[in-house]
Amino acid sequence: WRAYRYTGAKYAKQVAQSLYIAELGKFVLTISLLAVIFLMLPLENYWLIFAAYLSIWLVHQIASFYWIGKKPV
């Protein structure tokens, strides 16, 4: 929501900086929540969390590459 405070070519640098900050916030939130989950789960269930996270990430990456260059319906 804060990434789109600026619009237009005049504010391209601010838009890019806002997007980078938002991405950093998402990364920090992900790491924090994974740390909480790891503290709450028994030691033998860590692989399930990694498998779920990697599968969701992979689906997102594949979908992103699939939709590049496609026109919206």
What's the Rg (C-alpha) of the chain? 17
Q: What is the pLDDT of residues 5-61, one digit of tens each?
A: 666 777 778 878 888 888 888 889 988 988 888 788 777 777 887 888 889 889 988
Report the interhelical angle of 12-40 vs 46-67 (nearest 10°): 150
Please report which residue ranges of the chain form alpha helices under DSSP H: 12-40, 46-67
Alpha-carbon span 3 to 5, nearest angstrom: 6
Encoding tokens for residue 49? Answer: 């969390």
pTM as predicted: 0.57
